[in-house]
């Protein structure tokens, strides 16, 4: 958290304490979209199962997990896209074939 963020939180807390209108409440959404790495799919399933076990069937149905995959660019692709590489990355194999051959 930045210093500016901390100051904003402190300022907001003081305003509420002084009787100003409180900030809007959160957590009243009817549907939740979680955009999380696919490696977290099992844990998202656990959350949904937990909601169901506690009797929150509607909330479980409305908890949506959009998963995404990680990608790795080859050094050649980085060069083509104009992405600067370290000397170590420049020496890495540029294809799966070369990577497999490097381990033989």
Each residue's pLDDT, cut to its tens digit, for the chain (104 residues) gives 677 777 777 776 777 667 667 666 777 788 999 999 999 999 999 999 999 999 999 999 999 999 998 877 888 888 888 988 888 887 777 665 444 444 43
Instruction: Note whether 51 and 65 are same-domain residues.
Output: yes
Instruction: Answer whether residue 93 is part of any domain.
Output: yes
Q: What is the pLDDT of residue 100?
A: 43
Instruction: Answer whether residue 81 is part of any domain.
Output: yes
Q: What is the pLDDT of residue 95?
A: 60
Question: Domains in the chain: how many in total?
Answer: 2
Q: What CA–CA distance (Å, rounded) separates 40 from 20?
A: 40
Q: What is the pLDDT of residue 34?
A: 92
* Residue 94: φ, ψ to 5°: -100, 0
Q: What CA–CA distance (Å, rounded) separates 71 from 83?
A: 15
Residue 55: helix, strand or coil by DSSP?
A: coil
**What's the domain range around 66?**
30-70
Instruction: Answer whether residue 76 is part of any domain.
Output: yes
What is the 3-class SS of 5-67, one letter each residue? HHHHHHHHHHHHHCCCCCCCCCCCCCCEEEEEEHHHHHHHHHHHHHHHHCCCHHHHHCEEEEE
């Amino acid at each position: 958290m930045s210093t500016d963020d901390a100051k904003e939180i402190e300022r907001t807390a003081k305003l509420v304490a002084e009787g100003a209108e409180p900030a809007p409440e959160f957590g009243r959404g009817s549907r939740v979209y979680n955009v999380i790495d696919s490696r977290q799919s099992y844990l998202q399933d656990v959350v949904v199962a937990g909601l169901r076990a506690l009797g929150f069937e509607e909330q479980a149905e409305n908890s949506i997990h959009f998963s995404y995959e990680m990608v790795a660019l080859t050094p050649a692709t980085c060069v083509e896209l104009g992405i600067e590489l370290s000397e170590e990355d420049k020496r890495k194999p540029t294809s799966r074939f070369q990577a497999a051959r490097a381990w033989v």
